[in-house]
A and B are shown apart, each in its own frame.
Chain A
């Protein structure tokens, strides 16, 4: 091994050796990440100024892609859908995750079993659970329509909820909450378990009720965990594709919109690149706002 030979040369001091070894060990990982994430980001910017042709060369068309994308009302519709989707899924997963974590932090029979069963939605592949959800909301066979129409009479007829855009987005949000809450629950639970029990005892001696204890002890302890969960959830769900696309083609969030633009029909990859860049800039703006205003870093 040449690396070992280099390291064994006597004219290097300990620090130099460590430095060479450090770089050598991280190099494969760094090279892969650099060439397959950072380079594509730059290449994406480049492509967004071209009419991209898969077979032959690309034609430079200046800002045309951006013009086409930004003055298209469907684009602004999908921005709106994305914001609604991200907003409600983030709140939903976090709040429900917190409730579940608080419940699982108490003693009850078969807690170990319940604790692992609750993780199933997070673990199972999207592709496998998505069909169960489609079946539940199926207009003919699904149990949802059976309850909502036959038993409760909320709707005047059986209809395809997932096929109707204004309802489909709520099904997609519910699905995402179901799929994502175990993550929030796990993170919050591990923080809850680290809270010193004597704090609660002291508060009880002072006569604090349950709500007062939650406000004064629990909430401050989990505040930062919740802050990071929300940040991660915003980033993930802003770019979410498979959970939405596989459930319904009718909820056109930005990721789905870009996919349709670039890989179906006329395969407008240049416009797709422009969209991806705009989406990325929106995400960065979102994050900066959140970090400044909410996390106050």
Chain B
């Protein structure tokens, strides 16, 4: 196909590739660039910072922040008292430090991580058995269930947000911390379950039944075959589905914004970032640094499953 391409054709083709690439990655470059710039440099359209500023990252990761935001008199006191111990110094700093401007990145990160990991784990575990049932066992009502799961694709979050919120309020879940966490966990489980069922079901169908049959002739029960044959053979698919579910939960904003209103301590990264953006501490370099650190774990996870992803998606199980 390439042999009769003229030079002009080739040049045009490379130009197209460059445009596609630029369009795709430009916002990421902008994000990285702004996160490293000083405030006086923001208006400069150049993507390379005039001077590198790591302050935003340091602040987020709490590096070298010990004596910042400390009233000057207290700082002087510490520096001018020679025989003060380290422990005493720490105690004084903890007492006088102004923490109102601090963005609790670690707390948001931990909350997001905990929610997304638990939801994805539960989703995958339940889906392994469900998908096995849908792909391997013959029974009445199976196709109805399968169609029902497809149907669920149509319900974007907003369509059932109000009834779900009202349900969890009625049950008293949202008045305690543990209840709020649990209700959000359940919601993420529901949102990821159809994807997991679908992707895993499609993968199980590609595994030849004869291997299982052989095991069952040897006397293995169904649970044993699932555990010892299906699960090890589908490890790549299971990891893919896990990462996919994790990403859905990690990125979720709508439900978190409504359900976590009562408990600031439970807020996840997307809520935290949005709060930071509208607060008085909104500074572009901080926001961009926080954005980078929200995106990087997901991107790394994705890179690890990338080669399995195209297959899993085209097998039909994708949700946004």
Give A contacts to B, CB under 8 Å.
4, 7, 15, 18-19, 21-26, 28-30, 32-33, 36-41, 43-44, 47, 52, 54, 99-100, 103, 106-108, 114, 116-121, 123-129, 131-133, 135-136, 140-141, 143, 146-147, 178, 182-183, 186-187, 189-191, 200, 204, 232, 235-236, 238-242, 245-246, 254-255, 258-259, 262-263, 269, 272-273, 276, 279-280, 283-284, 287
Interface contacts (Cβ under 8 Å), in number, total: 270
**Chain A residues, CB < 8 A from B142:** 22, 26
A238 adjacent to B274 (CB under 8 Å): no
Chain B nearest CB: distance from A230 CB in Å?
14
**Is there an interface contact between B310 and A190, defined as CB atoms closer than 8 Å?**
yes
- Is B84's CB within 8 Å of the partner chain A? no
**Which segment, of B16-24, B50-58, B88-96, B234-242, faces chain A?**
B16-24
Sample 14 A-B pairs with CB under 8 A, ordered by A number: A18-B138, A30-B145, A36-B190, A44-B160, A120-B28, A128-B273, A129-B27, A132-B27, A135-B288, A178-B24, A178-B27, A186-B310, A240-B156, A280-B159
B38, CB-defined interface residue at 8 Å: no
Q: Which of B251-293 contact A (CB under 8 A)?
A: 251, 253-254, 258, 269-270, 273-274, 277, 284, 287-288, 290-292
Task: Tell me, yes or no, whether B115 is within 8 Å of chain A by CB.
Answer: no
Contact indicator A246/B159 (Cβ below 8 Å): no
Residue B71 interfacial (CB < 8 Å): no
- C-alpha gap A257/B59 in the complex (Å): 37
Contact, CB under 8 Å: A26 / B130? yes
A121: chain B residues within 8 A (beta carbon)? 24, 27
| Chain A proximity mask over B279-320: 1 for CB below 8 Å, otherwise 0 | 000001001101110110011001100100111011000101
A115 to chain B: closest residue by CB: B306
Question: Please, which residues of chain A bring their CB within 8 A of the CB of B28?
Answer: 120, 124, 129, 132
Interface residues on B, range: 35 or more
**Residues in A whose Cβ lies below 8 Å from that of B209:** none
Residue of chain A at shortest CB distance from B316: A228
Q: Is B8 an interface residue (CB 8 A)?
A: no
Q: Is B172 an interface residue (CB 8 A)?
A: no
Q: How far is the CB of B39 from chain A (nearest CB, A)?
A: 10
Grouping DSSP codes into helix (H, G, I), strand (E, B) and loop, the A interface class, with mixed when no group exceeds half, is helix
CA A54 – CA B168 in complex, angstroms? 11
Please tell me if B149 contacts chain A, counting CB pairs below 8 Å: yes
Known: A30-B130, A189-B310, A241-B158. A128 touches B190 (CB 8 A): no
The answer, yes or no, to whether B2 is at the interface (CB within 8 Å) is yes
Contact, CB under 8 Å: A241 / B251: no
Most chain-A CB neighbours within 10 Å: which of B138, B166, B251?
B166
- Known contacts: A22-B133, A106-B2, A200-B1. The answer to whether A128 contacts B295 by CB under 8 A is yes
- Interface check B229, CB cutoff 8 A: no
Q: Kindly state whether residue B134 has any CB partner on chain A within 8 Å.
A: yes
* Alpha-carbon distance between A126 and B23 when the two chains are bound, in angstroms: 16
Residues of A within 8 A of B157 (CB): 239, 241
Closest Cβ of chain B: how far from A128's Cβ, in Å? 4
B66 within 8 A of A: no
In the bound complex, residues from chain A placing their C-beta under 8 Å from that of B147 are none
**A127-B269, A127-B294 given as contacts; is B163 within 8 A of A32 (CB)?**
no
A132-B31, A141-B284 as given contacts; A187 in contact with B313, CB under 8 Å: yes
